[in-house]
Chain A
Amino acid sequence: MLEVQNLSMRFGGLLAVDQVSLDVQEHEIVSVIGPNGAGKTTVFNCLSGFYKPTGGTIVFKGQEVQGKPDYKISRLGMVRTFQHVRLFNQMSVVENLLVAQHRHLNTNLLSGLIKTPNYREREQKSLDRAAYWLDRVGLLDLANRDAGNLAYGQQRRLEIARCMVTEPKLLMLDEPAAGLNPAETKDLNQLIVSLKEDYHVSVLLIEHDMSLVMDISDRITVINQGRPLAKGTPGEIRQNDDVIKAYLGEA
């Protein structure tokens, strides 16, 4: 589904990402790991169109997307979360989910102004979808709170729900477990697996929590100092000497 080949990103004299290749198949959870500053988030930023990569190709569902504007990539079905939660803080929880569904709503101004039946129907559908996902991540009772007032773990879950209402094919999660306590991490673990199993979404994951990564990943790509270091199943990565030296062993 996603094919990344020889992706490079250069900031002036700094080669932040150097010839990284990875691929994500349908119905698969792929993790990207590496020490701090290895360039994982930069890879994400290139994939989601926040940066224009200086080299390499990104093919998503048979379409080259490198260098496309971020909102177009997102509309193709590749949606991301952020390392530091980015919600619309002063909007209510449910409004956060409604914003994300603007594509499914009729964007014609006039039909909305006079509330045509078609518009009402679409609006109701998007409300239902929002309610469904709020229920799914356990935030339905907080639907009318300001998103900024939620607890941190709830904000994390809301961010994932906000991606899911856009009905993505590939979900990119940037350190979703950062700042969560062990119980919350376990819930997150289950949620991500269920996204794959029940909603047929592929997941590309950046994470530092090794137990989470080893638990749920189908395959893992290790990056060190911008360069690809190893690739393989969790079992293989655990045994890989280079990885242990560069990353796991240091801890």
Chain B
Amino acid sequence: MTARNFKHALFCAVITMVVAYPILGLNLVARGTRVGLEGADTSTLVAIFVAAMVVFSFQLYRDTIMAALGKIPKLPPLAGREPMPQAKRVKMESWVLTGIIVLALFWPFFVSRGSVDLATLVLIYIMLALGLNVVVGLAGLLDLGYVAFYAVGAYTFALLSQYMGISFWMALPLGALFAALFGLVLGFPVLRLRGDYLAIVTLGFGEIIRILLNNWTAVTGGPNGIGGIPEPTLFGMEFGRRVKEEGNTSFHETFGIAYSGEHKVIFLYLIALVLAVITALVIRRLMRMPVGRAWEALREDEIAARSLGLSRTAVKLSAFTIGAFFAGFAGTVFASKQGFISPESFVFLESAIILAIVVLGGMGSQLGVVLAAIAVTILPELAREFSDYRMLVFGAAMVLMMVWRPQGLMPMRRTHIELKRQE
């Protein structure tokens, strides 16, 4: 036992050194036009050695340490408490949620412009994650190219406004519908695929869209992107200092208040908030409708679902289409918020982050996904000083989550369905 532990610990320590030394202990330095290699200073080497020793001693006494950790009392003893009556809990939840939404409506008037801007981004991610939640969390279709639909939504707005002068409010449904159409088109070839195979094809699809946008220079402007995307208007009132379009008035003149750049930011935030709430409500409703149950049935057992007369084609396509629809929504808002888009905004990393939000939040759980979207978007902003280690922290958080809460922050809870007793 001890001998084995010792061997294992030694092995781990050596691995630590082997991995850490080339990464931390060797530095590239510029010597004139050439690049040279230089050893790091002693303190780094000592640090690597200390790290290896820590790994060594942890592995050596692992059993003892883990046993001691196990003795720490579990956090809230939930099991002992009587669960709240169903009706009461549902009522309370809806009150709390309404309260939060009302708070969110007034919040931007009291905080800085930067925070509101960030909050808009959070809301866009919430929309995206809720949409992907339909595809991955409910229907169980692993989609790694979700960002493609986001891009379709954003580019639909950008191109329509550039070539046809269409406004935000016209582009919003068009962008969403266009993205939904792309979801449908992608759905057909992947009908027979599941799991890993599906993931690879969707990954490819996401890249195709991005590369197409990048190379179709004549239309999309290629890597230069598209600028000058109009901001949303409020009943024909623009939020800029000067009115850009004939027939429109400007917001600050209509109301006789001084011009402020904040108006525009807050207005965009409110639009994003309303859209995110609509997204959440619609998907929540869909989940309780036959189509939502069909998605879950397909995830649980495709063969049984088919044996009950569910058409795999219809169920899968509806999941892809509806998921893509909301990505299109988010894309349109994003394009309007940035005023400029380029293929750079729609790289694979975005898909990965949205997927991470869904997994972190708990597959299928709307509240969990919203919380995770907030956490994943805001934490990197709060920890700006550590931006070099952002991905490291992100990865570590994912690993820890998988160890301690593999089902996500707030795993999906089944709705309680009250049945009438038969007489």
Binding site for B on A (CB under 8 A): 48, 50, 69-72, 74-75, 79-80, 82, 86-92, 94-95, 98-103, 105, 107, 109, 112-113, 127-128, 130-132, 134-135, 140, 143-144, 146, 162-163, 166
Contact = CB atoms under 8 A, between A and B. Distances in A.
Contacts of B264: none
B79 interface: no
Contact of A166 (B304, B309, B414, B419): B309
**Interface-central residue, B296, B300, B312, by most chain A CB under 10 Å:** B300
B23 to A, nearest CB: 42
Interface in B380-423: 414, 416-417, 419-422
Contact of A88 (B285, B296, B421): B296
B291 interface: yes
Contacts of A127: 417, 419-420
Q: Closest 6 interchain pairs by CB?
A: A88-B300, A86-B304, A74-B309, A131-B419, A112-B289, A102-B290
B304 A144 contact: no
Contacts of A132: 422
B301 A86 contact: yes
Nearest to B308: A100
Nearest to A140: B419
23 contacts: A48-B307, A50-B307, A79-B307, A80-B307, A86-B301, A88-B297, A88-B304, A89-B300, A90-B300, A92-B417, A95-B417, A99-B293, A102-B310, A105-B290, A109-B291, A112-B285, A112-B289, A113-B282, A127-B420, A131-B420, A131-B421, A134-B419, A140-B419
A98 B415 CA distance: 13
Say which size band chain B's interface belongs to.
20 to 34
A86 B420 contact: no
A105 B238 CA distance: 46
Nearest to A95: B293
Given A80-B307, A127-B420, A135-B421, 20 more contacts: A70-B306, A70-B307, A72-B309, A87-B301, A90-B300, A91-B414, A98-B293, A99-B297, A100-B309, A112-B290, A113-B282, A113-B285, A113-B289, A127-B419, A128-B420, A131-B421, A132-B422, A134-B419, A144-B416, A163-B308
A102 B294 CA distance: 8
Contacts of B417: 92, 94-95, 98, 127, 143-144
Contacts of A130: 419
Contacts of A166: 308-309
B14 interface: no
A206 to B, nearest CB: 15
A99 B294 contact: yes
A109 to B, nearest CB: 7
A86 to B, nearest CB: 4
Nearest to A172: B307
Given A91-B414, A130-B419, A131-B422, A113 B307 contact: no
